[in-house]
Amino acid sequence: MSELILKNGRLITGEPCELTLCDGKIIQVARFIESNGRKTIDLQGKYLSAGWIDDHVHCYEKMKLYYDYPDEIGVSKGVTSVIDAGTTGAENIDDFYQIARKKKTNVFALLNISKCGIVAQNELADLSKIQEAKITQALKDYPDFIVGIKARMSQSVVGENGLTPLELAKKIQADNGQLPLMVHIGSAPPTLSKVLDTMKAGDVLTHCFNGKENGILDASTDQLKGFVWKAYQKGIIFDIGHGTDSFNFRVAEIALKEGMKACSISTDIYVRNRSNGPVFDLATTMEKLHAIGYSWKEILMKVTAAPAKNFHLTTKGQLHPGFDADITVFELINEDKKLTDSNGLTRVTHQQIKPIKTIIGGVVYDN
């Protein structure tokens, strides 16, 4: 395969950055690269970063409750990789894999600990659906596709089972080499304190800034709950997971004021909250974090290097030789835009981030 040179790009710091891509990999990174007659794309001063990764989406298109289409939320939105967060379980992961491998966007999966995935809201209310042997086999069958497991720990999902599904998830995790685990939080029971007590360093807590009573904020004091700080400090990964009902500006702002930032930024996107809001796409979620005070530099890290590390995507998330040629080219537009969270609260960003090109495995797609 011939080499491709990306000329006249710049990093978010303003530093010039040019890349040479070949055979799906980055082979050179420098301030200036001589083209020497090789195929060249002039980025005309636009920004570039490692390809954006959305580590919480729902994109198995055959589901009815939560579903979307990988390329509609991925390549067309500046996102080079998506991780489906538990839409499928051991009994339908094969079909999802067969569909996903035909997409332009890199698609990975977190396997729901329920064998059937999210076919209904209460997939963990019946413990007989949690079958470790089937999960272990699926992990063996799709080692490059399944990057972890998912347990949704809210009352509407677990029914009367309380903390038991999470305890079973932790056993499955331990029995399979401490693979990544993402835990969804919502309404109690189980209580957030019990969920966090069960989780360990490296586990991912998604929906970290939801506005629910069982969330991280003590409404009586407008401060973060003490046990939440202990969980954060012991290394539990706090992930945005915006979703239809799981991101609240005030909670995120109070957390930031107290010194707690999300570790990674994701959308929990599916077709309804993409089409009707409040999510729309990863860029909009990134704008929301910028509107409350996160810098673009740290936001970009939280959609590249951070999710790649959390889910062991060892060749993604960085602009270095040997890494995959997954790159997002974007611009910053100084124009006001009203943003709405999951609870109807609004903020205004004065600077928008707009993907221009999405490069996946060295193949260039215009946005």
Cβ pair 3, 21 in contact under 8 A: yes
pLDDT in tens, 242-269: 999 999 999 999 999 999 999 999 999 9
pLDDT of 332 strictly over 90? yes
Q: How far apart are CA 332 and CA 262, in angstroms?
A: 22
For range 136-151, the mean pLDDT: 98
User: Which residue ranges make up the annotated binding site?
Assistant: 56, 58, 150, 184, 207, 268
Neighbours of 54 (CB within 10 A): 29
Domains of the chain: 3-48+322-366 (2.30.40.10), 52-311 (3.20.20.140)
For range 277-296, the mean pLDDT: 98
User: Which residue ranges make up the annotated binding site for Zn(2+)?
Assistant: 56, 58, 150, 184, 207, 268
For range 303-310, the mean pLDDT: 98
Q: How far apart are CA 82 and CA 327, in angstroms?
A: 14
pLDDT band, very low/low/confident/very high, at 2 (cuts 50, 70, 90): confident
pTM for the whole structure: 0.98
- Considering the chain, what is the average pLDDT of its residues? 98
For range 196-225, the mean pLDDT: 98
CA 223 vs CA 131, 206, 364: distances in Å: 40, 20, 46
pLDDT at 1: 62
Taking alpha carbons only, the member of 226, 236, 137, 127 closest to residue 183 is 236
Residue % of the chain over a pLDDT of 70: 100
pLDDT in tens, 308-319: 999 999 999 999
Q: Which two tokens stand for residue 311?
A: 């889910």
H-assigned helices in 26-86:
70-73
pLDDT at 307: 98
Q: At 277, phi and psi to the nearest 5?
A: 80, 175
